[in-house]
């Protein structure tokens, strides 16, 4: 269970990015976090693996408060897939990127090799394992970034805008992948149709706080609520979709 209690966070320039935010996400939940640009979503995600620490309030994961002392333990619990795969992939060979995290955590090399191979085969990346990540397509990079996180089998998977830059086929592939994962999942996305397909609960963020939450279908079909928070209905619920010609 992830609990944030009255969390506030200021950037060095004084911007208040989280404003007394409270939130509870249950173990096993697939939570979608939605909100307009600048609502504070990425700032919140960066708190979940201790990359940022709150200026006020506290966050705990499975009863363990996130602080400087237990950051290593927290990072073994929480796998964060960054919005930009280039922030995740930094070695000269895709395979080394996938092995980096688990070897760094001291996991057994043979076990890691076996897990990495299976994962890369499932994601259609095995043949590309010797390529530099910079030579991969955007979609391949996205899946490579997922592989680098999933290989550690984190009990909590956090994703920031996972479908940006994916073509429709890869987007569908990602929906299927996410839906087969048993971990607790937290997804930030502007792609409300993706949230609809992968999340059972939705939290709306605006101005650094949670303004509404509930069952996905209830929240994402509430046009007034979405519009009040700078959002629109998922495409599939918009009256002129699919466009008839
Ligand atoms: N490094 C930074 N320095 C100062 N302000 C920032 C920084 N990063 C983000 N912000 C501000 O914090 C607020 C929340 O940003 P962010 O968490 O990135 O929003 P979102 O991910 O919802 O679009 C915005 O007002 C943004 O301008
Ligand atoms: Mg963001």
Residues 162-207 have pLDDT tens digits of 998 899 999 999 999 999 999 999 999 999 999 999 999 999 999 9
The total number of residues written for the chain in this structure: 245
Cβ–ligand 1 contact at 14 (below 6 Å): no
Of 26, 15, 20, which is closest to residue 57 (Cα–Cα)?
A: 20
Delineate the domains of the chain, giving CATH numbers in brackets.
Answer: 2-234 (3.40.50.300)
Q: Which residues contact 70 (CB under 8 A, 6 or more apart)?
A: 64
When pLDDT is cut at 50, 70 and 90, the band that residue 105 belongs to is confident
Ligand 1 atom nearest to CA at 208: 14
Contact of 188 with 115, CB cutoff 8 Å: no
Q: Which residues contact 179 (CB under 8 A, 6 or more apart)?
A: 197, 198
pLDDT at position 237: 92
Mean pLDDT of the chain: 94
pLDDT at position 243: 66
pLDDT at position 233: 95
> In Å, what is the CA distance from 150 to each residue of 7, 146, 176?
28, 6, 15
Pick the ligand that lies closest to the CA of residue 35: 1
Cβ–ligand 1 contact at 42 (below 6 Å): yes
């Amino acid at each position: 269970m992830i609990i944030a209690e009255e969390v506030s966070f200021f950037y060095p320039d004084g911007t208040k990015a989280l404003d007394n935010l409270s939130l509870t996400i249950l173990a096993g939940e697939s939570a979608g976090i939605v909100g307009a640009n600048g609502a504070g979503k990425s700032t919140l995600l960066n708190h979940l693996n201790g990359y940022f620490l709150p200026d006020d309030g506290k966050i705990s994961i499975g009863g363990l408060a996130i602080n400087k002392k237990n950051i290593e333990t927290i990072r073994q619990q929480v796998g964060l897939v960054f919005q930009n795969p280039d922030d995740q992939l930094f070695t000269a060979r895709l395979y080394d990127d996938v092995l980096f995290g688990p070897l760094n955590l001291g996991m057994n090399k043979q076990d890691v090799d076996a897990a990495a191979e299976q994962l890369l085969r499932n994601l259609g990346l095995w043949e590309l394992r010797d390529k530099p990540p910079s030579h991969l397509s955007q979609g391949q990079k996205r899946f490579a970034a997922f592989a680098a996180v999933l290989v550690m089998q984190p009990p909590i998977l956090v994703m920031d805008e996972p479908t940006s830059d994916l073509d429709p086929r890869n987007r569908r592939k990602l929906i299927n992948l996410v839906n087969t994962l048993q971990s607790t999942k937290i997804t930030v996305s502007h792609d409300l149709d993706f949230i609809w397909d992968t999340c059972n609960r939705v939290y709306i963020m605006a101005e650094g706080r949670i303004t509404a939450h509930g069952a996905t279908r209830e929240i994402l079909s509430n046009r007034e609520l979405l519009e009040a928070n700078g959002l629109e209905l998922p495409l599939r619920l918009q009256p002129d979709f699919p466009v008839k010609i």
